[in-house]
C-alpha cells in the first residue's frame, strides 16, 4: 500500500472500532470475537470452492487467504488479528498482512491450539464477550453468539463507506471498466460469449475465482435472462445485441457494472441510446434524504416513457405504469447497496435497531428500501427486457390490449437492455464511480 492508502486504512479501522465499541456497549458487552470462517470441501471430495471470508471479518481485514482467522475487538484496546497459517507443502501458506499494521496487531499461528489459546487469553480481561459468526471450535468463553442487537447496528452502518473503502471501490471500478471496454471490442469483432468473457478477465486482470460475482455475458436473446449463467463457445450466426454485467474486486470491495450494445446502427441501438440517457437522468436524481423506493418508481416511469416513445405501447408512459405494463419489462429492483458484498447487507434495514423495511407490494424484488444518505454506495440499474414468459402473462391481461405486440415481437431476438452504474452519495449530489472510471480508463 502507498502512504495515503495506509493512512486511510488506519482511519478505516478506527471507524470500525468506534462502531463496534458503541454497539457492544449498548448491548452490554465489552469485547467481540469475529470469526473469518472455514473452507469447506465439496461433498465427497478433497478440494473446496473458492473461499470468501465472513463479510463482518472481511470489512476489517480483506483477503482470500484468511480462513480460520479471528479478530478480537475490545472496547478501548487495540484490535487483534489472530490468523491461521499452517505449515503446509501442499499449498502456499497465507502471507502475513503486514500492511494492516499499525491499524491493528497481527499475529500468525501455525497450530490451531495455540491460536485458540491466544483468543481466550485476549478475552481474559473481558466481563462479557460476544462471538460473531459461525465457528466449529466452541465459543471461547463468550457469553452470547451473533447477538442481533450488535450485528444490526454495525451492518446498518456498513452502508456508509469510509475513505479507504471508497479508494478500493474506485479502483475496482477502473478494473471493471477496462474489462468492459475489452469485452465490447470482442463483441464487435464477432466473438462468442466465451471469447468475450476471456477478454473481460484479461483486461480487468482477474481470474474467475476472484470475481465479485459470476459475470453475465449474454448475446442476443440471452440478454433477456436476468442472471444468464452460460458462456457459449460458438459465436451465433448473427450478432444482434450484447449485455454484459460484470465487475471487479479490489481488497475485497466490488464494482458491479452493466452495459448493453447493439451490433448494428439500427433501432435497437437507438433504444439503447435512449435508455442510457434515461438511466443517467435517474442517477442525477440521487440526493441525500430522498426515498430510494420513490426513485425506483421513477425508473418505472422512465421505462414507460421509453415504451411509448418507441411505439411499444398505445398509451403514454404514465398510463403504462398505472396499468402495470412496465412490470413485464422491468421485473427487478432499481439497485442495491454495494461494498464488501455485491448485494451488501442492510438494504431492507431502516435503522440501527434492525427495523425491517419490506419492499412495497408493487415492487417485491426491490433490494433497497432505506432512505438515501451521504456515504452510501449503491447501484442504479434500470432494465427494459423482452422476456417471453412475462410477455405471455401480459398478453393475457387487460393491460395487454395497450401493447403493440408486433413491435414487441420484433425485438425479442435482442433480449433486452440493462445499464448499471455504481454511485456514491455526497452531502449535495452524487459521485458516479462507474462513469468516472470509464472516463479515466479511456484517457490511459
Third-level CATH fold of 3-157: Creatine Amidinohydrolase; Chain A, domain 1 (3.40.350)
Percent of the residues in the chain that have a pLDDT greater than 70, as a whole number:
99
| CATH code given to domain 163-442 | 3.90.230.10
Q: Which three cell numbers stand for residue 311?
A: 411505439
pLDDT at 3: 45
Q: What's the CA angle centered on 22, arms 32 and 431, to 5 degrees?
A: 105
Q: Which three cell numbers stand for residue 361?
A: 407490494
Q: Enumerate the CATH 3.90.230.10 domain ranges in the chain, comma separated.
A: 163-442
Concatenate the DSSP letters of all residues of 68-127 into one string.
T-EEEEETTS--EEEEE----SSSPPPPP-GGGTTTSEEEEESSHHHHHHHHHHHTTT-S
Q: Residue 2's pLDDT band (boundaries 50, 70, 90)? A: very low
pLDDT one-digit tens code per residue, 310-342: 999 999 999 999 999 999 999 999 999 999 999
Residue 239 pLDDT > 80 = yes
pLDDT one-digit tens code per residue, 113-144: 999 999 999 999 899 999 998 777 789 999 99
Q: Residue 4's pLDDT band (boundaries 50, 70, 90)? A: low
pLDDT one-digit tens code per residue, 158-205: 999 999 999 999 999 999 999 999 999 999 999 999 999 999 999 999
Q: Which three cell numbers stand for residue 16?
A: 470500525
Mean pLDDT for 355-382 is 97
Chain centroid, CA 387 distance in Å: 24
Q: Residue 443's pLDDT band (boundaries 50, 70, 90)? A: confident
- Verify cis geometry, omega within 30 degrees of 0, for the bond prior to 102: yes
Percent of the residues in the chain that have a pLDDT greater than 90, as a whole number:
92
Average pLDDT over the chain, rounded to whole? Answer: 96
pLDDT one-digit tens code per residue, 35-64: 999 988 899 998 889 899 999 999 999 999
Q: What distance in Å separates the CA atoms of residue 315 and residue 220, rounded to the nearest whole number?
A: 28
Q: What distance in Å separates the CA atoms of residue 329 and residue 284, rounded to the nearest whole number?
A: 23
**What stretches of 330-412 show up as alpha helix (H) in DSSP?**
388-395, 405-410
Residue found under cell 440493462: 418
Q: Which three cell numbers stand for residue 279?
A: 438511466
Q: What distance in Å separates the CA atoms of residue 179 and residue 198, rounded to the nearest whole number?
A: 9
User: How many residues appear in the chain?
Assistant: 444
Concatenate the DSSP letters of all residues of 16-61 into one string.
HHHHHHHHHHHHT-SEEEEE-----PPTTSS--PPP---HHHHTTS
pLDDT at 304: 98
pLDDT at 136: 78
Q: Enumerate the CATH 3.40.350.10 domain ranges in the chain, comma separated.
A: 3-157
Amino acid at each position: 500500500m502507498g502512504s495515503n492508502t495506509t493512512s486511510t486504512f488506519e482511519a478505516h479501522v478506527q471507524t470500525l472500532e468506534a462502531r463496534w465499541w458503541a454497539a457492544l456497549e449498548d448491548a452490554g458487552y465489552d469485547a467481540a470475537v469475529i470469526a473469518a470462517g472455514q473452507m469447506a470441501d465439496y461433498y465427497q471430495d478433497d478440494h473446496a470452492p473458492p473461499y470468501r471470508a465472513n463479510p463482518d471479518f472481511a470489512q476489517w481485514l480483506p483477503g482470500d487467504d484468511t480462513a480460520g482467522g479471528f479478530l478480537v475487538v475490545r472496547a478501548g484496546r487495540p484490535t487483534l488479528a489472530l490468523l491461521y497459517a499452517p505449515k503446509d507443502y501442499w499449498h502456499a501458506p497465507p502471507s502475513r498482512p503486514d500492511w494492516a499494521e499499525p491499524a491493528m496487531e497481527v499475529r500468525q499461528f501455525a497450530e490451531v491450539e495455540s491460536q485458540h489459546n491466544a483468543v481466550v487469553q485476549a478475552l481474559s480481561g473481558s466481563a462479557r464477550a460476544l462471538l460473531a459468526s459461525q465457528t466449529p471450535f466452541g465459543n471461547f468463553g463468550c457469553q452470547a453468539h451473533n447477538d442481533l442487537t450488535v450485528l444490526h447496528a454495525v451492518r446498518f452502518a456498513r452502508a456508509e463507506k469510509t475513505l479507504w473503502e471508497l479508494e478500493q471501490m474506485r479502483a475496482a471500478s477502473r478494473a471493471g471498466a477496462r474489462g468492459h471496454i475489452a469485452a465490447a471490442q470482442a463483441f464487435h469483432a464477432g466473438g462468442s460469449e466465451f471469447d468475450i468473457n476471456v477478454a473481460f478477465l484479461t483486461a480487468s486482470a482477474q481470474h474467475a475465482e476472484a470475481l465479485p460475482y459470476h459475470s453475465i455475458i449474454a448475446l442476443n436473446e440471452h440478454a433477456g435472462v436476468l442472471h444468464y449463467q452460460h458462456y457459449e463457445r460458438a459465436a451465433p450466426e448473427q450478432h444482434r445485441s450484447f449485455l454484459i454485467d460484470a465487475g471487479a474486486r479490489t481488497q475485497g470491495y466490488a464494482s458491479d457494472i452493466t452495459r448493453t450494445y447493439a451490433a448494428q446502427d439500427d433501432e435497437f441501438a437507438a433504444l439503447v441510446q435512449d435508455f442510457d440517457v434515461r438511466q443517467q437522468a435517474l442517477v442525477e436524481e440521487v440526493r441525500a434524504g430522498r426515498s430510494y423506493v420513490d426513485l425506483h418508481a421513477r425508473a418505472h416511469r422512465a421505462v414507460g416513457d421509453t415504451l411509448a416513445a418507441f411505439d411499444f405501447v398505445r398509451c403514454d408512459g404514465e398510463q403504462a405504469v398505472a396499468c402495470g405494463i412496465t412490470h413485464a419489462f422491468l421485473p427487478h429492483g432499481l439497485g442495491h447497496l454495494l461494498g464488501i458484498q455485491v448485494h451488501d447487507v442492510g438494504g431492507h434495514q431502516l435503522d440501527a435497531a434492525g427495523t425491517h423495511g419490506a419492499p412495497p407490494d408493487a415492487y417485491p424484488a426491490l433490494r433497497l428500501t432505506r432512505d438515501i444518505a451521504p456515504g452510501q454506495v449503491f447501484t442504479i440499474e434500470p432494465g427494459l427486457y423482452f422476456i417471453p414468459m412475462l410477455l405471455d402473462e401480459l398478453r393475457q391481461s387487460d393491460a395487454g390490449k395497450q401493447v403493440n405486440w408486433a413491435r414487441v415481437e420484433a425485438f425479442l431476438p435482442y433480449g433486452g437492455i440493462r445499464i448499471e452504474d455504481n454511485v456514491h452519495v455526497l452531502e449535495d449530489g452524487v459521485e458516479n464511480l462507474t462513469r468516472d472510471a470509464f472516463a479515466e480508463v479511456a484517457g490511459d
